[in-house]
Amino acid sequence: MADYFRLKFSIEGVPELSRLLLTKHSKLGNLKKPLSASANLVLKDVEQNFITEGGLVGGWKPLAESTVKGRERAGFGGEHMILQRTGALKKSFYSSVSEKRALITSRSPYFMYHQSRGSRKRLPRRAMLVLTQRTRENIVQEFNSYLKGK
């Protein structure tokens, strides 16, 4: 009889959540419910990160003056928040959940360049997808509650 399973979340540039959860269930079966709840917690953090312009990661680097001027020339004005000129990037995040896995990502082709910890010359890192300590704790609680109710 299995008496544990490993819960693991990883996001580039974020310390991963890896937790061994103790349980007395020999078959954990379909974990879609706690995985969906966990994915929603992470997506709420993405939303909060956009609202606060990177507040969950200490704030995003301000827009370059050339970017502000380029927005004005293109008719977008300089008032838009960072990474939100059209709103497409913010709306591009989604989750895909199966019985054993949750994937949270973006449909945007340039999301990975902002999120990545790779070397940079011009584009500053502005991480959108994060895993806060509060969210980590809530995810573990989601799984513990699910397992206790099983």
Percent of residues, the chain, with pLDDT higher than 70: 79
pLDDT in tens, 74-110: 888 766 789 988 889 999 999 999 988 888 999 999 8
pLDDT-derived band of residue 54, with 50, 70 and 90 as boundaries? very high
Going through the chain in order, the beta strands assigned E by DSSP cover 4-11, 14-22, 93-97, 102-106
Residue 22: its pLDDT value, please? 55
φ, ψ of residue 102 in degrees (nearest 5): -125, 130
Question: Minimum mean pLDDT among 27-31, 63-67, 110-114: which range?
Answer: 27-31
